[in-house]
A and B are shown apart, each in its own frame.
Chain A
């Protein structure tokens, strides 16, 4: 049996007022704690020039490059708390990555941070900044960074939904001279994207050219290309027929 309750209006007034004041204090305290936490986030500072870091390193420039990259990687962890990447100023972040790359151009660490860590942002503008950085770095050393550019192309397709950008990046990969050694799949991203964009004729032309050039020696890759060629031809016919109907 449920015990009967007295109406709130019958409670002593000081108790009601006291409860209200304490509730207000609790809410105020919680709000100010949140504000304090917000304020405690230390934004990224501007990096120095790479030449200054090289001077400071006293000859251990590659080690300093790695240590700076690790420091940057830990920036979102402050005072025992993890802060969202949305708080990071991506312009400064890219500037840091750029300087670290200049300190040690042979290191893949900044590019890895860019494509694997800082690409996890829901903001398309920030992601575009990261992709531009990857593209710039690839232009400077295609042999070292082809893997990261292929990742960037996939990020542009799947995360940004920007097939044109993805295709542009994939074309950069595909059009590299043979002296830039990379597996066939990296160059194949271009025609796969063209097919995604329903550009079957271009995709067919590229695959045919690849097969006829004699550059493909791996039988598995040859089989894959031939299967794709058949698939694209089939899809082209279907598209043409649906267009006529």
Chain B
């Protein structure tokens, strides 16, 4: 999978990076101060979302092809355990993410300090890795690319916008004078949040404006990602072991 995609991947990353730089350059011209920081933060966020979506598409397509070409049935006739397939997929996702973030490291280091570039590349690797695992879980369960991609993006955005949604639900409870329905919805969302990664699991864009301890931010994200990744892998295993294949 990686061999076929590497050239396209490089080209697409370059096109995206150039586009992001042009947009960032426009904002930099307008900004009175901190023009360079705004450009690099904008480019970094642009790359984050575009590469995240790209990784999601690659991963879901790859597993969907395994379903389509009955690879699972073939694999299960070999002396391979199901967990080995999941581990292999996790390693593929990790490698794909690494390939994706290497150009990011170069681009960000060119615009900013290399330490910040290194932080962003590492943090982005963790974030895309998490998104990739989410995609893996979605495609294993739902088996259809559009459904899996939509589900993964929905969960990702839900996690990222959890603060805003909690705020809205909190306001809704306040405006409805604590009505039972509002409180129930607020409670349900609060419960759902326990199953979503927190904002600390994602790369922190504020580092481009020069505040915060990079190492500490990265370690918090690392531990948060490890715990959530293990949870996702566990769910993938449970789901995959429950599947029936016609051997």
Query: Which residues on A are within 8 Å of B, measured CB to CB?
Result: 51-52, 54-56, 58-63, 66-67, 70, 73-74, 104, 106-109, 112-113, 116-117
Contacts and interface: CB of A to CB of B under 8 A. Distances in A.
B44 to A, nearest CB: 9
A113 B199 CA distance: 31
B45 interface: yes
Contacts of A109: 31-34
Contacts, number: 71
Contacts of B164: 52, 54-56
Contact of B41 (A54, A58, A60, A117): A60
A156 B33 CA distance: 24
Contacts of A59: 160, 199, 202-206
Of all A-B residue pairs in the complex, the 9 with the closest CB atoms, nearest first, are A55-B164, A60-B205, A58-B160, A63-B41, A55-B163, A62-B206, A62-B209, A66-B38, A70-B30
B33 to A, nearest CB: 6
A2 to B, nearest CB: 58
The DSSP consensus for interface residues of chain B is helix
B167 interface: yes
Nearest to A71: B30
Contacts of B32: 73, 109, 112-113, 116-117
A192 to B, nearest CB: 28
The DSSP consensus for interface residues of chain A is helix
Contacts of B30: 70, 73-74
A108 to B, nearest CB: 7
A66 B34 contact: yes
Nearest to B207: A62
A106 B209 contact: yes
A66 to B, nearest CB: 5
B167 A62 contact: no
B211 interface: yes
Contacts of B38: 63, 66-67, 70
Number of chain B interface residues as a range? 20 to 34
A62 to B, nearest CB: 5
A120 to B, nearest CB: 14
Given A63-B42, A108-B33, A116-B32, A58 B161 contact: yes
B83 interface: no
B202 to A, nearest CB: 6
Interface string B180-213: 0000000000000000000100111110110100
B41 to A, nearest CB: 4
B205 A62 contact: yes
A62 B210 CA distance: 11
A51 B167 CA distance: 8
25 contacts: A54-B164, A55-B164, A56-B161, A58-B157, A59-B199, A59-B204, A59-B205, A60-B41, A60-B205, A60-B206, A63-B41, A63-B205, A63-B206, A66-B38, A67-B27, A67-B38, A67-B42, A70-B27, A70-B31, A106-B211, A108-B33, A109-B31, A109-B33, A113-B32, A116-B32
B189 to A, nearest CB: 13
A74 B31 CA distance: 10
A63 B167 contact: no
Interface string B200-233: 0011111011010000000000000000000000
Contacts of A117: 32
Nearest to B209: A62
Contacts of A106: 209, 211
A202 B58 CA distance: 75
Interface string B139-171: 000000000000000000100110111010000
B21 to A, nearest CB: 15
Interface string B73-117: 000000000000000000000000000000000000000000000
A151 to B, nearest CB: 14
Given A52-B164, A66-B37, 11 more contacts: A51-B167, A55-B164, A59-B203, A59-B206, A62-B205, A74-B30, A104-B209, A106-B209, A107-B34, A109-B34, A117-B32
B127 to A, nearest CB: 10
Contact of B45 (A54, A56, A63): A63
Interface string B29-73: 011111001100110010000000000000000000000000000
A57 to B, nearest CB: 8
Contacts of A58: 157, 160-161, 202
A102 B215 CA distance: 26
